[in-house]
């Protein structure tokens, strides 16, 4: 493939690439800074109304999560929980699932407002058995605890001062080289 400065390359992707990834010929790579991931403030349990559409439901949830439109969490019972920054994102999610994947949804809003990541998986397992708060897993199977409000978060921190909680998952996937620059999801060859 001949490449010239300023060329834009389109790639067919079956879900392998993530937002922030870059493709290069060189073996020299480096990491971009972490992409901003805003902690969700609104949560809802979602499921397909028609069980026969479960495959379409899972595909749609996965693809919309890869776009960064939603954050997805799973309970130990494999329930799907969405986390969003603003409630309008729920409406957009419902619309896109119907329009793009043909899936009608049951959506149950939850009173939870705060998500914190738990770096130590052993702490998460202990909390699953003893905590009144909801312990779930994010899309990379990292443990997350979801609190209803600031009071429940403060109470938890006072009761469990030895358990570390983080504001985000600290995601950083992007790789590139000096051969190209990634802008708005496209690789510009330089």
- Please check whether residues 136 and 87 belong to one and the same domain: yes
Task: Spell out the alpha helix ranges (H) of the chain.
Answer: 54-67, 88-101, 121-130, 150-159
- Please check whether residues 74 and 154 belong to one and the same domain: yes
The whole-angstrom separation of Cα 2 and Cα 7 is 10
- Please check whether residues 17 and 51 belong to one and the same domain: no
Q: Is residue 76 part of a domain?
A: yes
Question: Does residue 82 register a pLDDT over 80?
Answer: yes
Show the domain range for 139.
42-159
- Please check whether residues 104 and 129 belong to one and the same domain: yes
pLDDT tens digits along 151-171: 999 999 999 999 999 987 653
- Please check whether residues 95 and 134 belong to one and the same domain: yes
Min mean pLDDT across 30-34, 37-41, 42-46 is at 30-34
Q: Which has more confidence, 183 or 145?
A: 145
Q: Is residue 164 part of a domain?
A: no
**Cβ–Cβ < 8 Å for 123, 156:** no
> Residue holding tokens 């389109």?
10
- Please check whether residues 77 and 153 belong to one and the same domain: yes
pLDDT tens digits along 98-131: 999 999 999 999 999 999 999 988 888 888 877 6
Q: Is residue 182 part of a domain?
A: yes
> Which DSSP state fits 166?
B
- Please check whether residues 20 and 57 belong to one and the same domain: no
Q: Is residue 166 part of a domain?
A: no
Which of 27-36, 61-70, 166-175, 179-188 ranks highest by mean pLDDT? 61-70
Question: What's the predicted TM-score (pTM) here?
Answer: 0.74
- Please check whether residues 57 and 94 belong to one and the same domain: yes
- Please check whether residues 148 and 92 belong to one and the same domain: yes
Length of the chain in terms of residues written: 190
CATH number of the CATH domain containing 139:
3.30.70.3280
pLDDT, position 19: 66
How many domains in the chain?
2
At 20, the pLDDT band (50, 70, 90 cuts) reads low
- Please check whether residues 93 and 155 belong to one and the same domain: yes
- Please check whether residues 73 and 22 belong to one and the same domain: no
């Amino acid at each position: 493939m001949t490449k010239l400065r300023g060329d834009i390359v389109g790639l067919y992707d079956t879900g392998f690439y993530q937002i922030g990834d870059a493709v290069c010929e060189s073996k020299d790579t480096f990491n971009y800074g972490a992409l901003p991931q805003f902690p969700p403030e609104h949560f809802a349990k979602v499921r397909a109304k028609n069980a026969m559409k479960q495959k379409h439901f899972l595909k749609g949830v996965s693809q919309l999560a890869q776009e960064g439109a939603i954050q997805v969490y799973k309970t130990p019972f494999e329930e799907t929980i969405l986390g969003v920054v603003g409630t309008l994102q729920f409406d957009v999610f419902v619309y896109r699932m119907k329009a793009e994947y043909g899936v009608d949804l049951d959506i149950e809003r939850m009173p939870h407002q705060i998500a914190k990541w738990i770096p130590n998986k052993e702490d998460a397992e202990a909390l699953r058995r003893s905590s009144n708060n909801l312990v779930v897993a994010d899309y990379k199977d990292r443990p997350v605890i979801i609190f209803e409000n600031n009071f429940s978060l403060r109470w938890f921190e006072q009761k469990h001062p030895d358990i570390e909680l983080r504001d985000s998952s600290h995601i950083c996937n992007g790789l590139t080289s000096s051969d190209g620059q990634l802008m708005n999801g496209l690789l510009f060859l330089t």
